[in-house]
């Protein structure tokens, strides 16, 4: 979306809501984004910490070169 698209949206908003309602609308949108950002931050912080003392999954051993023959 370029500058022309943004300008078109601003003009449409002015026509729909009028210049007196736009500051209130902007505040409401800003408040909504702030609440959303805080909620996502809370969700990320609520994740349980990873316990590094847990056993790591065992590595799968790769077959040796001599074991990789085709069946006869």
| List of domains in the chain | 3-46 (1.20.5)
Q: What is the mean pLDDT of residues 10-15?
A: 86
Nearest CA-CA partner of 19 in 28, 10, 31: 10
Question: Structure pTM?
Answer: 0.45
Residue 18 Ramachandran class (φ > 0 left, ψ -120 to 50 alpha, else beta) = left
What gap in Å lies between CA 66 and CA 72, rounded to an integer? 14
Total Cβ atoms within 10 A of residue 22: 14
Indicate if the pLDDT at residue 7 is higher than 90.
no
Q: What percent of the chain has pLDDT over 70?
A: 62
């Amino acid at each position: 979306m370029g500058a022309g698209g943004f300008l078109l949206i601003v003009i449409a908003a002015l026509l729909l809501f009028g210049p007196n309602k736009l500051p209130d609308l902007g505040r409401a949108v800003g408040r909504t984004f702030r609440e959303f950002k805080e909620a996502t931050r809370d969700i990320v912080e609520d994740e349980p910490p990873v316990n590094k003392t847990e056993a790591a999954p065992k590595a799968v051993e790769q077959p040796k070169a001599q074991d990789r023959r085709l069946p006869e």
